Amino acid sequence: MSKTIVMKFGGSSVADAEAIRQAAARVIETVAAGHHVVVVVSAMRGVTDLLIGAAQRAAAGDATVAQATKQRLWERHHAAAVALLPEPSWSVLGPVEAELSNFANLTSAIAVLGELTPRALDLIASLGERFSAILVAAYLRSQQWHAEAIMADSLIVTDGQFGNANPLLAATTDKVQAALQPLLADGVVPVVTGFMGATEEGVVTTLGRGGSDFTAAILGYGLDADEIWIWSDVDGVLTADPRTVADAHPIRQLSYREAAELAHFGAKVLHPKTVRPAVEKRIPIRMLNTFNPSYGGTCITHEAVSRHDVTGVTAIPNVAQVTVEGRGMLGVPGVAARVFGAVATLGTSVLMISQGSSEQSICFVVREEEAEAVRRALCDSFEREMARGIIERIFVEDDVVIIAVVGAAMRHTPGIAGRLFTALGKEQINVISIAQGSSEYNLSLVVSAAEADGAVRAIHDAFHLERKNREGT
C-alpha cells in the first residue's frame, strides 16, 4: 500500500556530497517502493553555528568574520555541487550566491548598527537550510527523479517568537496541503527547508535549534502522513548519549510520552516539540540512521511498551539552580506563586522545580545564561521580605547539570529512587536536589557539572540499560 512519508535528514546526513548521496539513496528507495515522500533537510553540519557566530561577531562590530564565513560557505556548497552534479548549473549555484550576498549585506549593516535583532538573526540562521534544500533537490533531479526545493517560509505559519517560534497549525495545514499535495500527486518529491517558518506577515522565523525534526512533524500533521522518519547519524534513540556512555544501545520502541521526556531532558537526537503534532494525529515516528539503513532504529508510537523499569537516562548541561531560602518563609502563603510569577515576567522557562535539602527553600533550574537576570528579578520582587529577614538568601549555583531517568514502567516499580541513590552514593556523587516528574515517567536530579558524566554512567550501569534493550525487553 502506498504511504505518505515525511523524511527528515539532519546536518550530518547532508554534511557533504557523500552524505547527500546516502540521504538521496534513502529517498529514492522509498519512492521507488511506491510511496509518496516529502523530504525535510537541515543545514549542512556546522553551517547554522557558523551563520549565527558570524552575525554575533558582526553585532560586536567585527564584520571580517562574516566575510570569511561567506567564503567558507560558498566553498563548501560549491564543492558539494561540483561533486554531486554532472554540470553544476547556475540554477543551483546562482541562488546560493544570491543568498550569500544578502548575508554579506545584512552582516555589514549589523556591524554598522552594532545591533542584532532577533528578527535579523532568524533570517540569517535560516540560510543554511535554503542551501541544502537547493542542493538535495538538484541532486535528486540529476538522478532522474522529479524534485523541487521548497522554502518553508511559504508553508509554515508561525507566531512571532523569533528563535523559538510556534506553528499555527490550522493556517499551516492549509498551506501545506495546497502546496505539497499537487506535487505529490504529480510524482514530484518536495525537498523542504527544515527549521524555518514565517509569521502571517511573511517575516522569517526559526523553530529553535535542532528544529528541523519539528518541521517534519508539522508537515506530517498537515499532510496526515502515515509515518515520519527522522534520519540521523545514530541507530535511533539510545539509552544514553553515546558520547557519554560507550555501551548505550538503541531503544527499539518508545511511547510518545517517553520520547517527549527523553527529548525534553536532553536527548539531542530529537527536538522536544516534535512529538506534539505527531501525537495529535497518532503518526508513528521512526528514528533511523542514514548510514546504517538496514537497522530498524527506534519506533515511537502511542503504546507504552512494558519494560521492567527505566528506559533511558539523559542530561541537560549549562543550567543553573536558583534557590530562595529563609526560615520565615514557612507558612507565609503565596511565596511560590510570587517566585514563579517573577520568573515568568522575564519569559524564562523553568526546566525543573525541586525540593532542596531544607523545606524552607524553593529551588528551580533555568538555563545558565538566564540565571543572573532571574536572581536580580527575585531580589527586586522580595526586597521587603529580605529586609525583614523572612527571606534570607536568594542565590545561584552555576556549573550544574540536570540528569533525568525516564521510563513509562517506573511508576509501577517500587524502589527506583533507592537503587538510583545507592548507585550514585557508591560513586560518591553528591545529589544537589531531586524532583519527581508529575507524570511519574521521570525522576530528575541536579548534580555538579564535574560529576555529571559519572552520574549518567553509574545510572546506566545500575539499571542494566544496555543489557535490557539488547534483549528487547
Task: Give the interface with Mg ion as residue ranges (CB under 5 A).
Answer: 10, 210
CB 433 within 8 A of CB 351: no
- The answer to whether 88 contacts ligand ASP (rule: CB under 6 A) is no
- The candidate with the shortest Cα–Cα distance to 162, out of 209, 219, 213, 216, is 209
**Quick one: what does residue 211 bind among Mg ion, ligand ADP, ligand ASP, none, with the CB cut-off 5 to 8 Å set by partner type?**
ligand ASP
Which 177-196 residues touch ligand ASP, going by CB under 6 A?
Answer: 194-195
- The answer to whether 55 contacts ligand ASP (rule: CB under 6 A) is no
- Give the CA angle between residues 264, 265, 267 to the nearest 5°: 85
- The answer to whether 272 contacts ligand ASP (rule: CB under 6 A) is no
C-alpha cell at 90: 547556475
3-class DSSP state of 117 = coil
Min dist. Cβ of residue 25 to ligand ASP (A): 21
Spatial CB neighbours of 105, under 8 Å, sequence gap ≥ 6: none
Please give the full DSSP string across 19-62, using - where no structure is assigned.
HHHHHHHHHHHHHHTT-EEEEEEPPSTTHHHHHHHHHHHHHTT-
Select from 4, 5, 6, 11 the one that contacts ligand ADP (CB under 6 A): 11
Min dist. Cβ of residue 460 to ligand ADP (A): 11
- The answer to whether 167 contacts ligand ASP (rule: CB under 6 A) is no
**Quick one: what does residue 258 bind among Mg ion, ligand ADP, ligand ASP, none, with the CB cut-off 5 to 8 Å set by partner type?**
none
155 vs 406 by CB, closer to ligand ADP: 406
- The answer to whether 136 contacts ligand ADP (rule: CB under 6 A) is no
- The answer to whether 197 contacts ligand ASP (rule: CB under 6 A) is no
210 vs 220 by CB, closer to Mg ion: 210
Select from 48, 107, 301, 361 the one that contacts ligand ASP (CB under 6 A): 48
80 vs 443 by CB, closer to ligand ASP: 80
Cell 527523553 maps to which residue? Answer: 262
Min dist. Cβ of residue 210 to Mg ion (A): 4
- Which amino acid, 90? W
For residue 47, give Cα distances in angstroms to 74, 94, 168.
11, 19, 27
- The answer to whether 217 contacts ligand ADP (rule: CB under 6 A) is no
Cell 522557562 maps to which residue? Answer: 349
Min dist. Cβ of residue 391 to Mg ion (A): 41
- The candidate with the shortest Cα–Cα distance to 216, out of 234, 235, 192, is 192
Stated as kind and residue range, the H or E segment containing 469 is: helix 465-471
- The answer to whether 267 contacts ligand ADP (rule: CB under 6 A) is yes
50 vs 138 by CB, closer to ligand ASP: 50
CB 160 within 8 A of CB 199: yes
3-class DSSP state of 219 = helix
- The candidate with the shortest Cα–Cα distance to 458, out of 470, 472, 445, is 445
Residues 423 and 319: their CA atoms lie apart, in Å, by: 23
**Quick one: what does residue 195 bind among ligand ADP, ligand ASP, Mg ion, none, with the CB cut-off 5 to 8 Å set by partner type?**
ligand ASP
- The answer to whether 210 contacts ligand ASP (rule: CB under 6 A) is yes
Handedness of CA 194, 199, 201, 204 (dihedral sign): negative
- The answer to whether 128 contacts ligand ASP (rule: CB under 6 A) is yes
Residues 395 and 376: their CA atoms lie apart, in Å, by: 10
CB 335 within 8 A of CB 329: yes
Residues 317 and 265: their CA atoms lie apart, in Å, by: 10
**Quick one: what does residue 128 bind among Mg ion, ligand ASP, ligand ADP, none, with the CB cut-off 5 to 8 Å set by partner type?**
ligand ASP
Which 212-231 residues touch ligand ASP, going by CB under 6 A?
Answer: 212
137 vs 267 by CB, closer to ligand ADP: 267
Which string of x and - marks every residue 42-81 that binds ligand ADP (by CB under 6 A)?
x---------------------------------------
* Residues that contact ligand ASP, how many (by CB under 6 A): 12
C-alpha cell at 275: 512529538
- Which amino acid, 381? S
**Quick one: what does residue 297 bind among ligand ASP, ligand ADP, Mg ion, none, with the CB cut-off 5 to 8 Å set by partner type?**
none
- The answer to whether 381 contacts ligand ASP (rule: CB under 6 A) is no
- The answer to whether 124 contacts ligand ADP (rule: CB under 6 A) is no
Kindly list the residues in this chain that would bind ligand ASP in the complex (CB under 6 A). Answer: 10-11, 42-43, 48, 128, 194-195, 209-212
